[in-house]
Every structure is written in C-alpha cells, then in structure tokens.
C-alpha cells in the first residue's frame, strides 16, 4: 500500500499518535513476555516505557482536543512497523535492562529522525512546524533514555548463557 | 427339520425354516438371483436372511448366496443347508465349510458343468441334474440363474406372485429383461417337479407389524440419523463402506452432509471438528481403520467432544479377512486408547438392533460428551434380512447435548460438576468462547500440568459415564435357572436359537446379551446373575476377549467357562445346542 | 449499538509462553488485527490447530479454539467448516505439524478447496520437541537426530499448494505484522482454501533466523490468477520472496447434489415392504 503523506496538522498528528499507540502496546506486550519468563527487572522497565509512551499518546489527544481516537487504519509506515515500535525479534529472555534501554534509545532516535524528515519535507508550513516540535520532543526523550542508560553498565559477555538445555512442553 | 419323501408320494410335511445356497461363477448372476429369492420370501410374508460369499476376484469370481427363509424371525443361519443349487461348480468347493449339507439335503447341478465336488457329495445329499444352460438357451435371452430362482422357489413353495413381484421390482430399470426372466423362472418352476426332494414351507403367520428389508449397515445408518447425526466423514473400508454409501444420500435428504475423507485419520478428525461445531457427527470403519483412529478418540475424550464410531468388525488381526465376521475388536474398543480414557462401547445384538443401539449410542455420546464405539460386525453389516419393524428409542430418550447459554457469567467449559457433565459452548454463541484441548487442562480449559487438575478432570470424565443411567437397554436378560450364558453381538442370535433347542432337551439357562460393554455395569450384571452357579461366555474370537474382560472388571458368581471360536468359523445353533448340553452336565 | 472491536478484543487474557523473540508473536498481532479489520466477532471465528509451538495460538485469542492432535488440524477445520459454514475457520500450525505428519491432509485440503484459511508459521525446525529438522529445513542443517543434515530436498509448500488446487497462496513474514494482517484479510476474504506460508523465526533453535529480516524481499511476488505464471514464478523462488503468489477462481467446496430438509422418517420408505 502506497504511503500517503499527511497534508494537514490533523493528519500528521494522527500519525504521531498512531506511533505512540503502537509503541505503548508493544512495550506492554514485551513486559508480559519478560514477566512470563521471570525477567522481572526488564519486565518492569518495559512496563514503565509502556506507561511513558501511553502518556505521550494521551498528551497528543489532549493537545489536539480530540474526543475520539483518529482513524489510522489506512496508515502504513515505511518500515514494517512504526519508528518507535520494538521489533519482536530483538528480545532475549535473559536480556538485561541495558539491552532494553538500548532498544528504547534506538526507538526514540528513529522517531526523532522520522519527524525530522517531515520537518524538512515539502509540506505545508504548519505541518513542518508540528513535525519540528515532535522531533524536539523525541530528542528530549533520547536524552532521558541516555541518562537512564547511564545507570546500567554494558553487560559482560556471557549474559545470555543458560546452563540448562531447552525444556519441552508438548 | 423333518424327513422328505420321493415325488409321487403323499405331499411332504411342511417346514418352518429352509436354507438354500445358490452358487456359480463368472457373471452367472447368483447374487442377483439370491436377492430376488429373498425378496420373494419377504413378499410371501416370511422372515428371511441372506449372506454372501465370494472369491477374491472383483468380478467373475466364484460366488454363493445363502438364504434362510423362516416362519419365525431368524437371526442366524441354520446348521445346514437344505438345497445347494449351482449354475456351475467353478471353485464352489471353496465354500464347502460355509455350505454344510446333510443326508436330507438336495444338490442341484447342471450336468454340462461337471460334477459337484466331493466335499458336498460325501455328505449323503441327493444329487439332481438339470440342464440349466441348455434350457436357458432355449429361452430368448434366458439366463440360468433365473431358472434356478424359479426352481428353488418352487421347491420351498413360494407363491408364484411373490416371485414375479420380486423379479419385476428387481428389473424395474431393465424392462427388456423382464419377459425373458419370467419365462426362465417359469421354466425353472416346471423343472422343480422332477426333483427327488422338496422342502415346502408352512404358510407364514399373519404379520403383526410392518416388515422391513435391510442390512445391518443400513439399520445402523438410519439409527444414527434418528439419533441426530447430520455430519459424517467417510473413508471406505470393507465391510463398512455400504453404511457410509447408504448415509450419503440419506443425509442429503434430511439436511445433513457426508464428506469423503482422504484417510481414517482425516475422517475421525473431520467428524470431531463437525461435532465441536455443534453438529452430531459419526464415522464408520472396520478394525484397521479403528486402529488408526484411536489417538483422535483420545482427543475426543480429553476435549469432551461427542463422536460415534461404528466399527463393522471383520476378521483380524491386521488386514485379516475383510469379508468375514469376527468379534475381535473388543480389546481395542475397550482398551485401545492411550492413557486413562473412559468412553462408551456398545454392541447391537441383531440386524434390527443395529438401529436402536446406534441411535442410543448417538444420544449417549451427545449427552455425555464422549466418544462411543459401536461394535457391529460383517455378519450384521452385510446380511440382508426381513425383519419386523425394528424398535427405536423413545422420542425423548436422552437429554442430548447440554450447551452453554450466551454470556453465561463465569463460564468454565470443563467445570467440575457433580454429575461430571459440564455445559458445552457451541461456536457462534457469544461470551462463552473457549479452546477445546487434548492437553490436560483446568476448568477453564487452559492447559495445565498440575496433578490436581489432572486428577480432577480424570475423575470428572469417569464420573460422568459411571453416574449416567443406562436404563434397561444395557443388556437383554432372558430366561431363568442357575446356569447363565453371557454373550454379545452376532453370537446372540445363534445362542438364542441353540438355547431354545437345548431348552427342548431340558436344559434351562439365562441369556445375558450385553449391549453396553463400557462403562462396566457391575451392579446390573450382578442382579442379572443372581442365583447363578455356572456361567459360560460365548464369543467369536480366538482369545476369549469378552471372557477376559468380564473376569477383569466383574466379580462373577460360580464357575466360569469360555466358549470361543475365531471368525470365518461361525458357530451355528447346533454347535451351541451340543455345547450347552455337555456343559450343563459337568 | 455495539462498539467496533479492536485487535485487543480478539486477544485472550492468556499470555503466550513463546520465547521472547519468537516470530509467532507477530502472527497473533496480525491475526487479531485482521479479524478486527474484517469486523468479525470472536464467537463467529474458530481457530483450529495441531501440535507445536505455533499451534498454541487458539488459546491466545478470544475466539473459539480447537487444539487437536498432531497433524490433523486441517481435517478438524474441514469438518467444522462443512458442518458450520457460517463460521470463519482459521487453521494454524507449524511446518512440522503441517508438512510432515499433516502433509497428506495438506494436499487434500488444497484439493477440497473448503472456504477456510490456513496459516503456517514456518521456522524450518521442530521447535517444541527441541530442534529436529522439519520438511522445510535445509538439507545440510546439523542436528542430533539427523547429524550432518537430512540430505533431503526441502518441501516447497507453495508449489505443493499450487499444484494441489489451493485457491489463494501467499508468503509473508512475521517481522511485518501489519503487512501480514493485510495478507490475512485478503486470504480470509478470498473464497476457497487460502494458504499463507509465514516465515516465523525460531530464536531458540535457529538463532540465525534473527537475520531473516535482512534477507526477506517484500513485494517480490505479484499476484496472478494464472497457474502457469505462478508456477514459472516459483521456479525463481528464493524462499524469501514475499507477496501473494496466486489468487484463483476455483469455486469453493460445496456439498453436491440436491439437498432437502425432511424429517428422518422419510427414510423408512427405503426399507418397508
């Protein structure tokens, strides 16, 4: 499906909103996965990220004065999923908070780049302005994640070692 | 059976039962003639049954049609045949063991087709020669099998109109053959006058009920539909194929569907899928197919999905003898599922009973959310019989499937209830979706590896079967005395007749013909055997499967004996008679 | 008036036990999105599966589910759909369940062309039983059960489906759940037997499959209704070409012959003398 570029602030912010929704849902799902695998620390971290993205989502709704969620069913990202959405395949059941935060940092950077492209694109001025503002927000998020990340040193080699062989269930 | 006399003397006394075998090969049309004879007997008001035997060739091989015509309901073949009439003798001796003759019998053969084999002549039977082929050639488009039909019909005294009616009905789609066939029949009738013996039947008693003509396979198919089955998945296998073929158009008439599957694994799973969707479902097979299906029957047990499998038993093990009857699948029916997987096993005990027992199996499977295996056999399945209109279940018999109400609060598919039956949500019903699972599960259906859940569900699945009320149908209990015979399935008719003869000789015994083989009914059997000091278990398999099962599951009173014989060597009433006399004396 | 359902309404409250990183998460995501998009209701959808990691899917949805025995999901789904044509039937499973023990039923399901959708999560391994080669595993993939590889040519499910009569055939990748959702919608809406082969990495037994997202070629296949053209396309197939291969015009399975809805007692006429 050919991607349709947003021509109005309403359309553009709907994209931004969709991005946050997808990111929040994904972090919540990843929190569940980590919880099922008894990786509590990372589970809580993902749950927190889900709440943060949820706040961003709600902020957009409030800012735009929307009473109902916008219709984003025809949206398509350039990448398979939204710029802020973590790819399922990036997970490991033994992953450390460092890894989760690196993923979050990557997400925020991609989101910032995504908005920066809009800010520089051949679009109406108010759209570009909105995009620039969103890009700045995302840059701030990157800084916040970096601060958060500073608390966790890079894990040593062998963090993914599990002496037990895989178990069978069926 | 009474003595016969030579022609010309006073009219011979009348018989109450006559057995006729028609034999021949290579397109002789022996089966066709046999069917017409059966229908003629029916139109004349007699009871009758017909079995068949043939060589391994698909067409043109040796064939024999065996017909018993009787004034009383006949549930088995007699000890011997009164008439063996053959179009030719090609390999007919292969049927020697199945067509026992005696000194009172009559063999009719065509002198231009060679001599009957010694296996027949050494019995002392009289031999009459009729130039069937030559005579048939003398009639335009005449055929020897029609001559035989006229001849044997006359020998037993069937009215001409009955024979004519049978021929007309049979040739309704080939009107050109009608005149020549009737001419040949008339010629055969004429030829009967020259026979050294005749076996005229007594006139039949007036019919008290409607009479039906059908096979056990057809009866089972109809019983299934009466029970509510509207979806069948089918894979052909001898001797069950005709059941499926009968059901295909029958289902179309009543709003149901039959699908031909690619193998038995597909057919059992299709049927389970259809049943999961809320439509009572069935498949039919024989031993080898049932062996393939047992894994999925376990799925039906674990997921509590109703399903009926009719096993038309044939001789095993493995490919065995597909065209002969044996009661050898009791073991796999009772014990063939892995794990502890209680389920229903039933066995009709006559061609007529195939209707009601299959109907009952469907009602039980539905109300108890369980698989039910119905053990029919090749003898029932492929025997065509003239019977009184069969008994059915009462219209309100069995509650049927207990289903969940839409949006039932806190719905748990596998809730541990007092009677073990938990309402089943039918797809399409809102608010009570669930996933059926072969994995062990908790009450909601979520897979569980907890021992407590496993025990609770095992208990539930066993309890629901054990607490059900099976009423009086669980067995036929007849007679009294301190001797008892226990049997099931097609042995029942043979035992009944043998026992009646033994009764005339002063031997009294109870007969317990078990219709419900699983779950076990210890209290009911104990009541049926109250006061019994000797029991004989009679069955048609090599290892005494019922005998062993009874010993494992039941505390039986008195002394226990097993009388068993494998398939393709069927007991006859005379065998039973002799055994009972001997056994009663020890 | 009932509010429109979202994909979360199609998820149950049961959390999948799949390894983090498993491609199958993308399939639940895509399937639930597809069902919501088609405005179906959970009670009118049945998800039927066999045995294997991916066969756990039914319980993770809020639809009716049937978790049957290994290899027979297509048979169960066929029986269900024929008995209840009003339901939307989705059959799911893995490459072992579907192409090995289920191979025969796969052939015949394509032939039979019952209106249902079959989604196979292909990770080219038997995951649940700890890593044996499956019919789609490369011939030289080393494992305990088949050291130095099986040496057997891989099963090509799309070619088999095409030659056996499937009416809709596509290949997709779980790394693109939105794209997969679109394909699932197309598949469900297309009449007859729709087959979607989904590349779904197994990070535990085939960790190298994490790189699949770099290898897959989106939109590499363009749909056709010409079987010969689709067959020629498959001659060039890399195994990672994504897209709808074939959308045909076969009529979906329907019981043949005249049907009626009479009372069972009409059948007695066949027996009465």
Per the structure, the count of domains in chain B is 3
Mutate to test the interface with C, among B428, B435, B449 (most CBs of C within 10 A): B435
Which tokens go with B579?
């055994």
Minimal CA–CA distance to C238: which of C171, C166, C165, C163? C171
pLDDT for B3 equals 44
Residue of C250, C258, C261, C259 lying closest to C114 (CA atoms): C250
pLDDT of amino acid B4: 46
Same domain, B53 and B18: yes
Is residue B372 within 8 A of residue B308, CB to CB? The reply is yes
Is there a single domain that holds both residue B491 and residue B395? no
Which of C40, C105, C45, C97 is closest to C75 using CA atoms? C105
The predicted pLDDT at position B54 comes to 86
Instruction: Tell me which residues of chain B have a pLDDT lower than 50.
Output: 1-6, 9-10
E-strand ranges in B421-533 read 435-437, 475-478, 483-487, 510-514, 516-518
Residue B25 included in any domain: yes
Q: What is the model's pLDDT at position B417?
A: 98
Res B25: pLDDT: 85
Is C273 within 8 Å of B431 when comparing Cβ atoms? no
Do B260 and B131 lie in a common domain? no
Q: What is the mean pLDDT of chain C?
A: 95
Domain membership of residue B114 (yes or no) is: yes
Q: What is the pLDDT of residue B1?
A: 40
Length of chain B: 586
Domains of chain A and CATH, by start:
9-67+86-149 (1.20.1260.10)
Mutant choice from C56, C264, C265 vs B, greatest count of B C-beta within 10 A: C264
User: Which chain B residues have a beta carbon less than 8 Å from that of C272?
Assistant: 210-212, 389
**Rounded Cα distance, B373 and B268, in Å:** 12
The 8-class DSSP code of residue B254 comes to B
Residue A71 CB coordination number (10 Å)? 9
Same domain, residue pair B497 and B439: no
Q: Across the interface, which of C67, C84, C262 has its CB nearest the CB of B439?
A: C67
Q: In DSSP terms, which residues pair with B68 in a beta bridge?
A: B19, B49
DSSP string spanning B406-448?
A: TT-TT--TT---TTS--PBPPTT-TT---EEESS-B-TTS-B-
Instruction: Clarify whether residues B440 and B581 are in a common domain.
Output: no
Please compute the mean of the pLDDT values over residues C111-139 and round it to a whole number.
92
C253: nearest Cα among C80, C45, C109, C117: C109
For residue B562, give the CATH number of its domain: 3.40.50.920
Is B200 inside any structural domain? no
DSSP B380-417: HHH-EEEEEPPP---TT-S----BPPTT-TT--TT---
Partners of B534 in the beta sheet? B483, B559
Say whether both B421 and B544 belong to one domain. no
Burial of B61 (0-12, 13-18, 19+ CB in 10 A): middle
Rounded CA gap, B121 and C193, in Å? Answer: 64
Instruction: Give the pLDDT of residue B11.
Output: 54
Q: What is the pLDDT of residue B428?
A: 98
Q: Which other chains touch chain B, taking contact as 3+ CB pairs less than 8 Å apart?
A: C
Pick A88's closest partner by Cβ from C17, C23, C52.
C23
B496 shares a domain with B422: no
Q: Which two tokens stand for residue C175?
A: 């790394």
Distances (CA, A) of B433 to B277, B403, B412: 12, 12, 10
Domain harbouring B105, CATH code:
3.40.920.10
pLDDT of residue B499: 97
Query: Does residue B199 fall inside a structural domain?
Result: no
Mark yes or no for CB contact B213/C273 under 8 Å. Answer: yes
For residue B566, the enclosing domain spans: 475-585
How many Å lie between the alpha carbon of C268 and the closest alpha carbon of chain A? 48
What's the length of chain A? 170
- List the domains of chain C with CATH numbers: 17-270 (3.40.50.970)
Question: Which residues in chain C have Cβ-Cβ distances shorter than 8 Å to A87?
Answer: 175, 213
Q: What is the pLDDT of residues C64-122, one digit of tens each?
A: 999 999 999 999 999 999 999 999 999 999 999 999 999 999 999 999 999 999 999 99
Q: What is the pLDDT of residue B191?
A: 96
| B455, B470, B485 - which closes a domain | B470
The residue-averaged pLDDT of C29-58 equals: 97
* Of the partner residues B254, B425, B437, the one whose CB lies closest to the CB of residue C262: B254
Residue B525's CB: how many other CB atoms inside 10 A?
21
**Is the residue at B202 inside a domain?**
no
Rounded Cα–Cα distance for residues B253 and B242 (Å): 17
Q: What is the DSSP letter of B60?
A: S
Residues of C in contact with A76 (CB under 8 A): 178
* Cβ–Cβ below 8 Å for B276 and C80: yes
B516, B556: one domain: yes
Listed residue (B127, B184, B130, B149) closest to B35, CA to CA: B149
C30: which chain A residues are within 8 Å (Cβ-Cβ)? none
**Is residue B104 within 8 Å of residue B18, measured between CB atoms?**
no
Tell me which chain C residues have a C-beta less than 8 angstroms from the C-beta of B42. Answer: 273
Contacts C16 to A, Cβ<8 Å: 33, 36
Of C41, C76, C84, the CB nearest to B279: C84
Global pTM reads 0.93
Residue A1 pLDDT class (50, 70, 90 cuts): very low
Whether residue B277 and residue C264 make contact (CB cut-off 8 A), yes or no, is no
User: B24 and B104 in one domain?
Assistant: yes
Question: Is residue B492, in this structure, part of any structural domain at all?
Answer: yes
- Answer whether C255 sits within 8 Å of B425, measured CB to CB: no
A33 CB within 8 Å of a chain C CB: yes
State how far Cα C85 lies from the chain centre: 18
Question: Do B434 and B522 fall within a single domain?
Answer: no
Residue with tokens 């017409």: B36
Please give the structure tokens belonging to residue B413.
């598919």
A36 CB neighbours in chain C (<8 A) are 15-17
Domain edge (last residue) among B407, B439, B470: B470
Looking at B470, B502, B517, the residue that finishes a domain is: B470
Query: Are B265 and C272 within 8 A, CB to CB?
Result: no
B153 and B135 within one domain: yes
Helix (H, G, I), strand (E, B) or coil at B519: coil
Beta strand pairing call for C168-173 and C193-199: parallel
What is the phi/psi pair of residue B476, to 5°?
-95, 120
Shared-domain flag, residues B352 and B293: yes
**Does the residue B339 lie in any domain?**
yes
């Amino acid at each position: 499906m050919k991607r349709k570029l947003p021509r109005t602030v309403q359309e553009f912010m709907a994209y931004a909103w969709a991005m946050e929704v997808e990111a929040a849902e994904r972090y919540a799902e990843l929190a569940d996965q980590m919880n099922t695998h008894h990786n509590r620390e990372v589970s809580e971290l993902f749950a927190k990220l889900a709440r943060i993205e949820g706040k961003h989502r709600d902020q957009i709704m409030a800012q735009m004065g929307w009473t109902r969620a916008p219709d984003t069913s025809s949206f398509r990202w350039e990448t398979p999923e939204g710029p802020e959405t973590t790819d399922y395949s990036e997970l490991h059941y033994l992953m450390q908070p460092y890894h989760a935060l690196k993923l979050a940092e990557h997400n925020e950077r991609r989101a910032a780049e995504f908005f920066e492209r809009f800010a520089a694109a051949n679009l109406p001025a108010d759209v570009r302005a909105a995009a620039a503002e969103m890009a700045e927000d995302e840059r701030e998020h990157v800084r916040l994640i970096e601060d958060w990340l500073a608390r966790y040193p890079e894990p040593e080699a062998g963090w993914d070692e599990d002496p037990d062989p895989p178990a069978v269930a069926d | 059976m009474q003595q016969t006399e030579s022609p010309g003397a006073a009219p011979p006394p009348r018989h109450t039962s006559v057995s006729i075998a028609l034999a021949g090969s290579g397109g002789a049309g022996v089966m066709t003639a046999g069917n017409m004879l059966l229908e003629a007997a029916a139109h004349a008001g007699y009871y009758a049954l017909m079995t068949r035997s043939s060589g391994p060739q698909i067409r043109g091989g040796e064939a024999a049609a065996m017909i018993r015509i009787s004034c009383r309901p006949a549930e088995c073949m007699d000890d011997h045949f009164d008439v063996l009439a053959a179009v030719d003798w090609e390999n007919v001796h292969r049927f020697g063991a199945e067509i026992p003759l005696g000194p009172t019998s009559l063999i009719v053969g065509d002198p231009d087709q060679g001599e009957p084999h010694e296996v027949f002549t050494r019995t002392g039977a009289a031999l009459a020669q009729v130039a069937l082929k030559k005579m048939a050639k003398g009639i335009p488009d005449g055929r020897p099998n029609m001559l035989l039909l006229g001849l044997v019909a006359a020998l037993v005294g069937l009215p001409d109109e009955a024979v004519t009616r049978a021929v007309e009905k049979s040739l309704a789609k080939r009107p050109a053959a009608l005149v020549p066939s009737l001419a040949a029949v008339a010629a055969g009738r004429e030829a009967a006058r020259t026979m050294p013996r005749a076996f005229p039947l007594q006139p039949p008693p007036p019919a008290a009920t409607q009479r039906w003509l059908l096979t056990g396979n057809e009866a089972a198919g109809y019983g299934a539909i009466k029970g509510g089955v509207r979806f069948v998945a089918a894979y052909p296998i001898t001797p069950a194929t005709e059941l499926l073929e009968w059901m295909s158009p029958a289902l179309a008439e009543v709003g149901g569907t039959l699908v031909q599957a690619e193998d038995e694994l597909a057919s059992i799973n299709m049927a389970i899928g259809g049943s999961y969707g809320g439509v009572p479902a069935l498949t039919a097979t024989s031993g080898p197919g049932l062996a393939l299906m047992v894994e999925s029957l376990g799925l039906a047990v674990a997921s509590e999905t109703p399903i009926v499998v009719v096993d038309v038993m044939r001789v095993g093990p493995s490919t065995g003898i597909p065209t002969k009857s044996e009661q050898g699948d009791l073991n796999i029916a009772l014990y063939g599922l892995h794990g502890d997987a209680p389920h229903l096993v039933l066995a009709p005990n006559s061609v007529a009973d195939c209707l009601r027992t299959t109907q009952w199996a469907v009602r039980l499977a539905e109300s108890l959310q369980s698989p039910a295996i119905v053990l029919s056999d090749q003898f029932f399945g492929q025997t065509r019989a003239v019977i009184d209109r069969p008994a059915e279940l009462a219209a309100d018999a069995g509650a049927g499937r207990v289903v969940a109400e839409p949006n039932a609060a806190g719905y748990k598919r596998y809730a541990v209830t007092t009677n073990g039956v938990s309402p089943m949500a039918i797809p399409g019903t809102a608010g009570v979706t669930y996933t059926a699972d072969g994995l062990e599960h908790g009450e909601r259906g979520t897979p569980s590896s907890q021992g407590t859940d496993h025990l609770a569900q095992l208990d539930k699945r066993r309890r629901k079967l054990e607490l059900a009320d099976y009423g009086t149908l669980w067995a036929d209990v007849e007679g009294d005395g301190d001797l008892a015979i226990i049997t099931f399935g097609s042995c029942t008719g043979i035992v009944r007749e043998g026992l009646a003869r033994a009764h005339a000789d002063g031997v009294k015994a109870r007969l317990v013909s078990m219709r419900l083989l699983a779950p076990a009914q210890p209290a009911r059997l104990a009541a049926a055997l109250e006061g019994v000091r000797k029991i004989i278990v009679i069955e048609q398999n090599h290892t005494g499967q019922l005998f062993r099962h009874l010993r494992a599951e039941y505390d039986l009173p008195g002394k226990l004996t097993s009388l068993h014989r494998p398939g393709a060597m069927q007991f006859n009433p005379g065998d039973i008679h002799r055994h009972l006399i001997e056994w009663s004396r020890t | 008036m009932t509010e429109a359902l979202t994909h979360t309404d199609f998820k149950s409250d049961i959390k999948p036990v799949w390894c983090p990183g498993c491609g199958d998460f993308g399939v639940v995501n895509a399937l639930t999105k597809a069902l919501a998009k088609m405005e179906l209701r959970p009670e009118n959808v049945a998800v039927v599966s066999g045995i294997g990691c991916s066969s756990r899917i039914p319980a993770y949805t809020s639809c009716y589910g049937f978790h049957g025995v290994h290899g027979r999901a297509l048979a169960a789904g066929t029986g269900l759909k024929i008995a209840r044509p009003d339901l939307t039937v989705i059959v799911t499973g893995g490459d072992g369940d579907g192409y090995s023990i289920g191979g025969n039923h796969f052939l015949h399901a394509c032939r039979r062309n019952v209106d249902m959708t079959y989604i196979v999560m292909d990770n080219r391994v038997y995951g649940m039983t700890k890593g044996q080669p499956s019919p789609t595993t490369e011939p030289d993939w080393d494992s305990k059960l088949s050291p130095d590889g099986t040496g057997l040519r891989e099963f090509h499910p799309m070619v088999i489906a095409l030659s056996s009569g499937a009416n809709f055939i596509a290949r997709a990748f779980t790394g693109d759940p939105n794209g997969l959702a679109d394909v699932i919608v197309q598949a469900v809406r297309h009449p007859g037997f729709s087959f979607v082969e989904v590349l779904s990495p197994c990070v535990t037994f085939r960790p190298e499959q994490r790189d699949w997202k770099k290898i897959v070629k989106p939109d590499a296949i363009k749909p056709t209704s010409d079987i010969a053209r689709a067959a020629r396309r498959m001659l060039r197939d890399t195994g990672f070409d994504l897209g709808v291969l074939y959308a045909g015009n076969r009529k979906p399975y329907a019981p043949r012959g005249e049907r009626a809805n009479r009372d069972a007692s009409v059948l007695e006429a066949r027996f009465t003398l």
